[in-house]
Amino acid sequence: MQPLAVTVGDPAGVGPEITAKALCDMSAAERAGIVVIGNLRTMERAMALAGGGLAFAAGLGPHPGGAVAALDIPIAGAVPDGEISATGGEAAFRAVEQAVKLATAKRISVIVTAPLNKAALHAAGHEYDGHTGLLAALTHSSPGYMLLASEKLSAIHVSTHVSLAEATRRPTKARVLGAIAAGDRHLRRLGLARPRIAVAGLNPHSGEGGIFGREEIDTIGPAIAEARAQGFAVTGPLPGDTVFHRALKGEFDLVVAQYHDQGHIPVKLVAFDTTVNVTLGLPIERTSVDHGTAFDIAWKGIADHTNMKAAIAYARRMAAEPAR
pLDDT at residue number 324: 62
Residues 6+ away with beta carbon under 8 Å from 21? 50, 52, 303, 305, 308
Q: How far apart are CA 239 and CA 244, in angstroms?
A: 9
Residue pair 158/256 in contact (Cβ under 8 Å)? The answer is yes
E-assigned strands of the chain? 4-7, 34-38, 56-58, 68-72, 110-113, 145-149, 155-157, 196-200, 233-238, 254-257, 276-280, 285-289
For residue 140, what is the DSSP state?
T
Q: What is the pLDDT of residues 64-97, one digit of tens each?
A: 788 999 999 999 888 999 999 999 999 999 999 9
Instruction: Kindly state whether residues 273 and 151 are assigned to the same domain.
Output: yes
Q: What is the pLDDT of residues 141-196, one digit of tens each?
A: 988 999 999 999 999 999 999 999 999 999 999 999 999 999 999 999 999 999 99
143 by DSSP, 3-state: which? Answer: coil
Mean predicted confidence (pLDDT) in 129-141: 92
Residue pair 116/89 in contact (Cβ under 8 Å)? The answer is yes
Q: How far apart are CA 290 and CA 150, in angstroms?
A: 11
Q: Kindly write down the DSSP assignment for every residue of 257-296, as one continuous string.
A: ESSHHHHHHHHHHHHTTT-EEEEESSSSEEEEESS---GG
Instruction: Kindly state whether residues 197 and 262 are assigned to the same domain.
Output: yes
* Helices vs. strands in the chain: H and E counts, helices first: 13, 12
Q: How many structural domains are present in the chain?
A: 2
Instruction: Kindly state whether residues 105 and 210 are assigned to the same domain.
Output: no
pLDDT at residue number 65: 82
Amino acid identity for residue 13 in this structure: G
Q: In what order do the strands lie in the sheet with 233-238?
A: 56-58, 68-72, 34-38, 4-7, 110-113, 285-289, 276-280, 145-149, 155-157, 254-257, 196-200, 233-238
Q: What is the pLDDT of residues 190-230, one digit of tens each?
A: 999 999 999 999 999 999 999 999 999 999 999 999 999 99
pLDDT at residue number 96: 98
Instruction: Kindly state whether residues 208 and 154 are assigned to the same domain.
Output: yes
Instruction: Kindly state whether residues 216 and 137 are assigned to the same domain.
Output: no
pLDDT at residue number 40: 96
Instruction: Kindly state whether residues 95 and 60 are assigned to the same domain.
Output: yes
Residue 322 has pLDDT above 80, yes or no: no
pLDDT at residue number 66: 84
Instruction: Kindly state whether residues 157 and 230 are assigned to the same domain.
Output: yes
* Length of the chain in terms of residues written: 324
Instruction: Kindly state whether residues 15 and 88 are assigned to the same domain.
Output: yes
In sequence order, which ranges of 112-251 are alpha helices (DSSP H)?
Answer: 118-123, 131-138, 164-167, 173-189, 215, 221-229, 240-248
Q: What is the pLDDT of residues 52-65, one digit of tens each?
A: 999 999 998 788 78
Range of the domain at 226: 145-281
* CATH at 301: 3.40.718.10
Residue 3 has pLDDT above 70, yes or no: yes
Instruction: Kindly state whether residues 307 and 275 are assigned to the same domain.
Output: no
Instruction: Kindly state whether residues 5 and 103 are assigned to the same domain.
Output: yes
Q: What is the pLDDT of residues 233-274, one digit of tens each?
A: 999 999 999 999 999 999 999 999 999 999 999 999 999 999
pLDDT at residue number 1: 76
Please, what sign has the CA dihedral across residues 74, 77, 83, 89? negative
Instruction: Kindly state whether residues 10 and 131 are assigned to the same domain.
Output: yes
Instruction: Kindly state whether residues 256 and 273 are assigned to the same domain.
Output: yes
